Amino acid sequence: MMYGEDSHRQLSSYPLLDALRGRRSRRFGLGMKIESGPLAYQSCQPLLPLTESEEAALAFAACGITGYALADLAYGSGQGGSMLAGLAGRTVASADAVNAVSLVITNDQGTYLIKRPQDFSPAEIPELIRLAEQGDLLELYRRSRVKIGEGRAAPPVEPGYNFNINRWSLYARGGTYFLPIGELTLLYINALLEAFDETSAFFIVDERANFGPAGLARFARSKGGHLADDPGAGRFSTVQALELALAEAAAIEQGMMLQNLGLMSQALGLGGFPNFAPHPFSWFQALGFRMGQMPASRYVGATRLISTALGLLGRDRPIPYPLGLERDGRLLLRAYCPPYFPDMEAAVQAVAAVKFGPQGIFRGGTSAGGWSDPAGVAAAIPALSERAVEATVAYCDYIYQRYGRFPAYSPPFRTVMGYQATHVDAEFYARFYRPEALTETQRQHMARWHVDEGA
């Protein structure tokens, strides 16, 4: 269903302060039921799925392409500007403009992946930006989504997969579920290329290997290399600390998506709420990701003694983990590690090519950026340090060979929270809540967005 001029005008002019003040988690939607307790209630209204236009507005809020990153940085040697790995901007910020987080949308009819800027050709980006500027969110949505399944995809809701607080409402018929998915490997390798150059010169040790160098021994200054292996130099980290920082950076990007979904739900007059979704593999299995697996002992980095003991006891069970998403011979999401690359050296070189390859963002692909003289800017940006690339390859290969995956502490893909959007059942809130539980935006939603349905 297309929304009309009035609803578009109302959405375009909705005040940010009103969205901030009115944003709430409103879980009870049309057609839903709470079985027992003081809020027991069964909706008297039929299910009403979100329209395509409503989903389009929410998808745009979560991760819509809005223009070019300004990339207003210092690009001199050792000044860090070339740490960027993308030049297209979305409605949410992203560390190093990597756009590490994808969005999956699932409803009763189908499941879709929303493409990131890097999933389009540079030639397509200007038209997507034009659609966003014109407010044609429906067409932008249609061009950005890829169907990856029929019907709703969802993991179980039982304890172990989720918390009981969510069981009554999660994945409700009629609702649309939005799942941000973080991909950590591109962000990881990109950060290493900066961390291991001659100016930053970070040194990383492996706390699960007696704090020995994480593949970096020959690059240590104490061995004649360029990395500051003296802990007193303040450029010293562990594998775990580094990977935690990167996971948090991606999680913040996911969190901004959730906040935007909440604000857009309020502007539209919909209900919705963020909820727990960090199970390490159930979502990926439900979505049909390509999965790897390894014994539990190796998955958690256990010692050989513990691994042997678990094996003898029959408790070293295989743990699945996601590697990538493919459909009909088409690669939609991949990790920068095997099996999508023959080895970690090839993966590192692929990340370097994103930046400085023939069509990298600082070379042939720079024409898609927002500078007035992209060719002139690109020509003045120094290429990656060869020693940084060599150290990155050595480190990444060490992690993959020792732990059988990359990263070492988590799978390449990670979920944290999801967001479910529904049409609010105003009668439920009228029965149990004070009038301010709903704003006029919720009360007027049907009249503004569903006039053709006799509401």
Task: Give me the amino acid identity at 23.
Answer: R
Burial class of residue 55 (count of CB atoms within 10 Å of its CB; 0-12, 13-18, 19+): buried
Q: How far apart are CA 115 and CA 360, in angstroms?
A: 19
Residue-wise burial string across 5-28, b where 16 or more C-beta atoms lie within 10 A, e elsewhere: eebbebbeebeeeebeebbbebbb
Q: How many of the other CB atoms lie within 10 Å of CB of 104?
A: 24
Residue 309, pLDDT above cutoff 90:
no
Please tell me the predicted confidence (pLDDT) of residue 365: 66
List of long-range contacts for 36-44, beta carbons under 8 Å, 24+ apart: 39/432, 41/428, 41/431, 41/432, 43/425, 43/427, 43/428, 44/427
Q: How many of the other CB atoms lie within 10 Å of CB of 48?
A: 17
Residue in 36, 207, 65, 199 with CA at minimum distance from that of residue 125: 65
| Residue 399: C-alpha distances to residues 191, 229, 350 (Å) | 15, 18, 18
Question: 165: which residues sit within 8 A by CB, 6+ positions away?
Answer: none
For residue 9, what pLDDT band results from cuts at 50, 70 and 90? Answer: confident
Residue with tokens 């070189």: 349
pLDDT > 70 in the chain, percent: 97
Strands 203-206 and 236-238 turn out to be: parallel
Please tell me the predicted confidence (pLDDT) of residue 455: 39
Residue 205, pLDDT above cutoff 60:
yes
Condensed to tens digits (0 to 9), the pLDDT of residues 345-377 reads: 999 999 999 999 998 999 876 566 788 888 888
Residue 196, pLDDT above cutoff 50:
yes
With beta carbons less than 8 A apart as the criterion, state whether 281 and 320 touch: yes
Domain boundaries, the chain: 5-453
The CATH architecture annotation of domain 5-453 reads 3-Layer(aba) Sandwich (3.40)
Please tell me the predicted confidence (pLDDT) of residue 6: 67
Please tell me the predicted confidence (pLDDT) of residue 5: 62
Please tell me the predicted confidence (pLDDT) of residue 313: 83
Consecutive H or E run containing 106: strand 101-106
For residue 422, what pLDDT band results from cuts at 50, 70 and 90? Answer: very high
Condensed to tens digits (0 to 9), the pLDDT of residues 125-175 reads: 999 999 999 999 999 999 999 999 999 999 999 999 999 999 999 999 999
